[in-house]
Structure 1
Amino acid sequence: MFAILVLCFVALAAAQQPQPCTSPPQWEANIFDYNQQQKFMVRGRLSYDAVYRRERIIEEVNFGSQGDAFDVIALFDSQTEYIYDFKARNCSRRRIERPWRDFGIPQGARSFGEAYIGSSAAPGLGLLVTLWGGNHTTPSNDTVRTFGTWTYQACIPVRFISHSERFGRTETSFFDVTAGISDPNVFIPRRECLTEKEYAMRDILFGKPSKQIQQQ
């Protein structure tokens, strides 16, 4: 009988362990991104697609007192990034060396509970969020420590902090998040970024990913 009670308590404790929610795989948001070690600050509008591992951001970038503006499309499955420079009015492409940033709750993350941004004293005065953190190792053997907050309802990212020896500390905040991708052509690079042949085939090359959307 005692053994049965012990097993029941163990099962109850396991059932009460917080479980991470699942963030929407595709969304758009205004973001503020800051990295102290690399001395840059980014403000922009991000289109984020975790299903096909791609993102587009129209951004203002500040390095100290210098400011620039870019339209960047990063296609991580093909390891290619297209960068349109608004000031120079030209486009370049390069191989992506950085790891994919997944803004969902990392696998194996530790729960730090729940909290209100603002106040819980009365309805409408605060936003209930969940807090998660942990460590993971990238394919390049770089250890990254992460901590973030997500809304209790819908699991929308609010703030995400990552730190590694290679990339330093990056803090990202999200505002005005909307679910889904508003423009299906948002991940097609500008004409200046493509050859004539690529531009003629842009809908096939960039507009129709081969993988099927995963059911959540």
Structure 2
Amino acid sequence: MKALLGLCSVFLLVLLALTGGCSAQMPHRCRTPPLLSGSMSVSARDGEDWAVVKYRYDAFGQRIRLWEFGQVQSKSFHVNMLFLFRESVVYTISYRNRTCQKNPLQASFHPSHIPHNASLLSQVVLGGSSAPGEGLLVNTWTGDVPQTGGKYLATVTEFGCIPVSTLYYTEKTGWIVTTYFNAVKGIEDPEQFIPPSFCSDADTEDEELDFFSAFL
């Protein structure tokens, strides 16, 4: 298992947080900004498995870059992955060894958004609401993921549709909790989506991966 984030096709789309209530105008389903940089933490199996991830998300070019470290089944890991959906390929990159594994990517790119069939659970303020700047207004949505038989709680900011966190469940994975932080609109260095030169000689592996199996 290369990492825990196997949910990333739901990657920036399914999110969680729960606390006391507040209401402004009626919340609406939204799309995450098409260019986004940030980090997230993921835990599963009651915290026994965990990962911390830096990500770059490009909906225009249909590309995702991930730098991850963590622990799975009591073993530590560090992995660097580049998903190029238009080219239908995923690279697993090791700069230390200057090696590159290249696998066919069978998944289609799905821009991060609150799905049309999601149901609003609540609109709340994270933090305080007694003065400006003390809290963050967020919307929590719930729904099912037919492709995996899973279900989720997803929270995004009311203004900007920035991912906050997710609670995702399937019988196979149990509960997986993802928390997003330090999000910034835009991509500082687009070259992060270009495979390093030593990947040009990499042979394509036989095993096809989707966004889930790349991590599991």
TM-score over 0.5 for the pair? yes
Q: TM-score, normalised by structure 1?
A: 0.71
- Runs of 4+ in structure 1 over 4 Å off: 86-89, 97-102
Of the three residues 51, 56, 79, the one matched with 2:65 is 56
Q: Root-mean-square deviation (CA), in Å?
A: 2.7
Aligned match of 2:54: 45
Contact 1:73/1:187 (8 A) holds in 2: yes
Give distance in 2, aligned partners of 1:38 and 1:89: 32
Secondary structure of 1:171's counterpart equals strand
Secondary structure of 1:107's counterpart equals coil
Q: Does 1:165 align with 2:171?
A: yes
Larger Rg: 1
Contact 1:69/1:86 (8 A) holds in 2: no
Aligned match of 1:150: 156
- Give aligned-pair identity as a percent: 28
Aligned match of 2:133: 124
Q: Does 1:26 align with 2:35?
A: yes
Please state how far the C-alpha of 1:39 moved relative to its aligned partner. Answer: 5.7
Give distance in 2, aligned partners of 1:35 and 1:98: 23
Between the two proteins, the alignment pairs up a number of residues equal to 178
Q: Does 1:181 align with 2:187?
A: yes
Give distance in 1, aligned partners of 2:111 and 2:153: 12
| Structure ranking higher on relative contact order (CA contacts 8 Å, 6+ apart) | 2
Structure 2: state its 5+ residue gaps. 1-24, 203-216
Structure 1: state its 5+ residue gaps. 1-15, 197-216
Q: TM-score, normalised by structure 2?
A: 0.71
Q: Does 1:66 align with 2:75?
A: yes
Instruction: Please give the residue correspondences for 1:46-125 in structure 2 after superposition, counting only pairs within 5 Å.
Output: 46-85=55-94, 88-96=97-105, 103-125=112-134
Please state how far the C-alpha of 1:97 moved relative to its aligned partner. Answer: 5.9
Larger % of helix: which? 1
Secondary structure of 1:185's counterpart equals helix
Secondary structure of 2:117's counterpart equals coil
